[in-house]
C-alpha cells in the first residue's frame, strides 16, 4: 500500500490529484453497492417460495443490510482518520465482492443473509469515504455539481435496483442478480487500484472501545427494534420495546461520552451548525419515503396487480431513470440558486405523489403508478443532494469526516426504520381488513386486504413528507467563509 500524503499535501495545489479518475472509481463502486440495497426487492416473492419463508422474514434481506450500515457507518469517522483512501477503497471492494460471491451461491436463507451483511460492510466503508474525498478535493462553489453526480449513485442505484433485477428475473434465477454485479465490482477494484490516490491526512486518533460498543448497541438496537416490529413482533412486544429502549439509552450515553471526550469518535459539534441539522433531517425523511416506497411498490405490483417481475420492473424504470438524470442538473441548479428553490417544491411534489399512492387499489392503472413514481422521484432529486450539500458546506474542514459519518449513519438508519414501519403497517393494515370482513370465502379478500395495508403504509409516508415540507421553509443557503481544505 502507498503511504498517505503528508499534512502539507492538503494545502498545496490539488493538481497533484487526478480528480476525475478518483471520482469515477467511487461512482462505479458506489453504484453497485447501493444498487444492492434494493436489487433483491423484486426477487422477494421468488425467495419466499424458494426458502419457504414469509414476507416479514424476507424483509431482513433489506433491513439486515441497513442494520449493518447503521452499526458500521458511525465508526467511519474514526476509520477515515486511521487508514489511507486507497486502503479503505480496496478493502471496501473486497468485502463487496466476497458478499456478492456468497450471495450468488447461497443454498439457504441464512447464507443469503450472511452475504447481505458482508456486502453491507463494503458499502459502509465506501459511502463515508466517497463523501469525505469529495469534500477534500472539490471547492465549495463546485460541490453541488459533483454531489449531483453522486446523486446518480445515492438515489439512482436504489431506484433502478428493482427494474434491473426484474429484467434479470425474466429469464434467470435471483442468483444472477449477484453474478451480474460481480464483473462490475471487479472492474471498479482494478480501476480504483490503478487510479485511487490518498487524499486525506491520517491523524490516528485514540480508539475508544466504549464509544464503539455504545454506538453499536445504540444504532443496532434501534434498527433491530423497528425491524422486529415490522417482522410481526408488533410494536407492543417485549423484544421490540426492550430493543428500542436499550438502543436509545446507549445512544444517550454515547452522545454524553462524545461531548466529554477530547478526541471523540463522532464529533457531535457538527450539530451546532443549523443548516447541517436541517439538511440532515430532510435527507433522513426523504430516504424513509423513498426506501419504503421502493419496498412497497414491487410487492403491490406483483401481489395485487399480478404483474410479472419483468413488467413490474419496467413500470418502476421511468421514475428511476428520471431521478438519476435530474440529480446532476439539480446539483448545478443548487450551485447557482441555493437550496430553498429546489427543496421546498421538491417536498411539495413528493407529498403530492404520496397522496396519490395512498389511493391505489386493485383497479389502479399501470400508467397512474408510472406518473406518480416519476413525480415522487423528481421530488426526491430536488431534495436529496441540495439538502445534503448545503448542510455539509456549513461545516469547517476538520468536521468533514464526522459530518459525513453522521449524515450517512442517520440516512441509513432512517431508511431501515422507514422500511420496517412500512412493512409493519402493511401487515397490520391487511390483518385489520381481514378481521373486519364477513365473507371469508371471497377470493378477492386477500387482494383487498393487501391493498388496504399498502394504503395505510403510504399514509405514514405522507405524514413524514408533510413534516419535511414544513421544515424546508427554514433552509437557507450557506455562505462558505472557511477555506476549501
Mean pLDDT of 52-61: 76
**Model pLDDT for residues 421-438, shown as the tens digit of each residue:** 888 888 888 888 878 877
Half-sphere exposure of 270 toward its Cβ, with a 13 Å CA cutoff?
A: 28
Residue 477 lies in a domain: no
Rounded CA separation 204/3 (Å):
14
Question: What pLDDT, on the 0 to 100 scale, is given for residue 278?
Answer: 93
77 vs 120 pLDDT, higher one:
120
SS3 state at 408: helix
Question: What pLDDT, on the 0 to 100 scale, is given for residue 406?
Answer: 86
Mean pLDDT of 106-127: 88
Question: What pLDDT, on the 0 to 100 scale, is given for residue 432?
Answer: 83
Rounded CA separation 106/114 (Å):
9
Task: Name the range with the highest mean pLDDT among 273-282, 417-426, 427-436, 476-485.
Answer: 273-282
CB atoms within 10 A of CB 172: 13
Residue 139 lies in a domain: yes
Whether 467 shows a pLDDT value over 90: the answer reads yes
Decide: 399 and 274 in contact? Cβ < 8 Å.
Answer: no
Residues 6+ apart with CB under 8 A from 189: 29, 90, 93, 94, 97
Residue 6 lies in a domain: no
Nearest 5 degrees, angle CA 129-CA 134-CA 136? 95
CATH number at residue 425: 1.20.1250.20
Whether 115 shows a pLDDT value over 70: the answer reads yes
In this prediction the pTM is 0.78
**Model pLDDT for residues 298-310, shown as the tens digit of each residue:** 888 888 888 877 7
Decide: 142 and 335 in contact? Cβ < 8 Å.
Answer: yes
Residue 478 lies in a domain: no
Decide: 374 and 319 in contact? Cβ < 8 Å.
Answer: yes
pLDDT band at 372 (very low <50, low <70, confident <90, very high): very high
Number of domains in the chain: 1
How distant is the alpha carbon of residue 23 from its chain centre?
Answer: 19
Rounded CA separation 205/415 (Å):
30
Helix residue ranges, H only, 82-196: 85-105, 109-137, 143-151, 157-171, 175-195
Which residues constitute the domain of residue 163? 17-472
Mean pLDDT of 58-70: 77
Rounded CA separation 72/223 (Å):
13
C-alpha cell belonging to residue 136: 477534500
Residue 206 lies in a domain: yes
Rounded CA separation 41/192 (Å):
29
**Model pLDDT for residues 128-148, shown as the tens digit of each residue:** 788 777 777 777 777 777 777
pLDDT band at 232 (very low <50, low <70, confident <90, very high): low
**Model pLDDT for residues 395-410, shown as the tens digit of each residue:** 888 888 788 888 878 8
C-alpha cell belonging to residue 383: 431534495
Question: What pLDDT, on the 0 to 100 scale, is given for residue 371?
Answer: 93
Decide: 331 and 364 in contact? Cβ < 8 Å.
Answer: no
Question: 455-464: b or e for each residue (b if 16 or more CB lie within 10 Å)?
Answer: bbbbebbbeb
Whether 106 shows a pLDDT value over 60: the answer reads yes
CA nearest to 133, candidates 14, 236, 49: 14
Residue 3 lies in a domain: no
Whether 230 shows a pLDDT value over 70: the answer reads no
Torsion angle, CA of 197/206/74/89, rounded to 10 degrees?
A: 20
Rounded CA separation 228/64 (Å):
11
- What does the radius of gyration of the chain's CA atoms come to, in whole angstroms? 22
How distant is the alpha carbon of residue 428 from its chain centre?
Answer: 25
Residue 400 lies in a domain: yes
pLDDT band at 205 (very low <50, low <70, confident <90, very high): low
Tell me the Ramachandran region of residue 480: left when phi exceeds 0, alpha when psi lies from -120 to 50, beta otherwise.
beta
CA nearest to 158, candidates 37, 318, 285: 37
Residue 480 lies in a domain: no
C-alpha cell belonging to residue 153: 449513485
**Model pLDDT for residues 78-94, shown as the tens digit of each residue:** 777 787 778 888 898 99
Rounded CA separation 59/169 (Å):
18
pLDDT band at 6 (very low <50, low <70, confident <90, very high): very low
C-alpha cell belonging to residue 413: 438508519
**Model pLDDT for residues 170-201, shown as the tens digit of each residue:** 888 888 888 888 888 888 888 888 877 677 66
C-alpha cell belonging to residue 300: 403491490
Nearest 5 degrees, angle CA 125-CA 189-CA 26? 55
Residues 6+ apart with CB under 8 A from 208: 257, 261, 264, 265
- What does each C-alpha distance from 143 to 131, 136, 240, 338, 459 come to in angstroms? 11, 10, 41, 12, 35
Amino acid at each position: 500500500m502507498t503511504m498517505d500524503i503528508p499534512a502539507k499535501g492538503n494545502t498545496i495545489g490539488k493538481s497533484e490529484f487526478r480528480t476525475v479518475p478518483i471520482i469515477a472509481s467511487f461512482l462505479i463502486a458506489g453504484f453497485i453497492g447501493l444498487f444492492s440495497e434494493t436489487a433483491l426487492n423484486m426477487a422477494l416473492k421468488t425467495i419466499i417460495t424458494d426458502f419457504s419463508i414469509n414476507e416479514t422474514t424476507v424483509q431482513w434481506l433489506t433491513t439486515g443490510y441497513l442494520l449493518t450500515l447503521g452499526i458500521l457507518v458511525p465508526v467511519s469517522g474514526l476509520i477515515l482518520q486511521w487508514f489511507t483512501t486507497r486502503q479503505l477503497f480496496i478493502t471496501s471492494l473486497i468485502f463487496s465482492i466476497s458478499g456478492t460471491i456468497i450471495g450468488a451461491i447461497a443454498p439457504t436463507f441464512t447464507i443469503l443473509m450472511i452475504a447481505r451483511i458482508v456486502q453491507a460492510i463494503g458499502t459502509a466503508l465506501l459511502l463515508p469515504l466517497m463523501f469525505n474525498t469529495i469534500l477534500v478535493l472539490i471547492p465549495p462553489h463546485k460541490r453541488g455539481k459533483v454531489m449531483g453526480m453522486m446523486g446518480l449513485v445515492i438515489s439512482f442505484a436504489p431506484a433502478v435496483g428493482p427494474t434491473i433485477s426484474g429484467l434479470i428475473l425474466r429469464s434467470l434465477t435471483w442468483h444472477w442478480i449477484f453474478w451480474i454485479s460481480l464483473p462490475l465490482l471487479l472492474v471498479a477494484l482494478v480501476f480504483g487500484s490503478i487510479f485511487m490516490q490518498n487524499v486525506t491526512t491520517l491523524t490516528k486518533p485514540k480508539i475508544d472501545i466504549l464509544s464503539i460498543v455504545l454506538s453499536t448497541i445504540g444504532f443496532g438496537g434501534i434498527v433491530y427494534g423497528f425491524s422486529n416490529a415490522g417482522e410481526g413482533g408488533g410494536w407492543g412486544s417485549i423484544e421490540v420495546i426492550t430493543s428500542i429502549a436499550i438502543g436509545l439509552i446507549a445512544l444517550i450515553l454515547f452522545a454524553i461520552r462524545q461531548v466529554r471526550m477530547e478526541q471523540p469518535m463522532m464529533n457531535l459539534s457538527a450539530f451546532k451548525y443549523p443548516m447541517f441539522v436541517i439538511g440532515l433531517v430532510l435527507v433522513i425523511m426523504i430516504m424513509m419515503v423513498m426506501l419504503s416506497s421502493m419496498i412497497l411498490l414491487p410487492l403491490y405490483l406483483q401481489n395485487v396487480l399480478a404483474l410479472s417481475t419483468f413488467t413490474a420492473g419496467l413500470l418502476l424504470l421511468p421514475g428511476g431513470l428520471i431521478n438519476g438524470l435530474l440529480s446532476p442538473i439539480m446539483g448545478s441548479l443548487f450551485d447557482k440558486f441555493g437550496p430553498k428553490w429546489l427543496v421546498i417544491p421538491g417536498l411539495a411534489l413528493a407529498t403530492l405523489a404520496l397522496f396519490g399512492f395512498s389511493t391505489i387499489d386493485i383497479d389502479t392503472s399501470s400508467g397512474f403508478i408510472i406518473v406518480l413514481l416519476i413525480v415522487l422521484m423528481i421530488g426526491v432529486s430536488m431534495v436529496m443532494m441540495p439538502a445534503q450539500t448545503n448542510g455539509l458546506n456549513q461545516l469547517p474542514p476538520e468536521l468533514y469526516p464526522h459530518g459525513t459519518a453522521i449524515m450517512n449513519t442517520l440516512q441509513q438508519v432512517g431508511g431501515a426504520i422507514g422500511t420496517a414501519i412500512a412493512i409493519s403497517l402493511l401487515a397490520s393494515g391487511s390483518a385489520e381488513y381481514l378481521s373486519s370482513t364477513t365473507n371469508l370465502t371471497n377470493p378477492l379478500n386477500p387482494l383487498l386486504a393487501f391493498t388496504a395495508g399498502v394504503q395505510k403504509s403510504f399514509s405514514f409516508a405522507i405524514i413524514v413528507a408533510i413534516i419535511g415540507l414544513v421544515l424546508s421553509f427554514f433552509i437557507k443557503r450557506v455562505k462558505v467563509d472557511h477555506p476549501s481544505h
